[in-house]
Structure 1
């Protein structure tokens, strides 16, 4: 799967990884997994393969980002 034209989480100055309002979605092998709390997000980020999207509610619409640095996201959730 190729992610084209989507903003990347690594390009943001800060990202609210621990917020329950920012779920992660893993798309892998025709299946979709969802994580909302910190423990589930860490488990999802540790999954090998697939693509992960993060949904961050904006003022007027939902913003969707490609999680392109899983290591940084895991570190942020471990603080």
Structure 2
């Protein structure tokens, strides 16, 4: 599973997000979170599974996700 990457999946607002999530899971996406209010799902899968995931009815886009960490130090010089 070391070849799995993080993905953000954008869902068509006219589709049932629950049904799309089920289809994504059956095609190999390990769902991490469902952001129904904004029509997105985050999860992990191998890059080799992307074509199968993109073929799910209701998927508009799949983009790479990556961690973001903000510097919380008071003297960081940011703002």
Q: Classify the TM-score, shorter chain.
A: 0.3 to 0.5
Q: Based on CA coordinates, which of the two structures has the bigger radius of gyration?
A: 2
Which is bigger in relative contact order (C-alpha 8 A, separation at least 6)?
2
TM-score normalized by the length of structure 1: 0.32
Which structure: greater strand fraction?
2
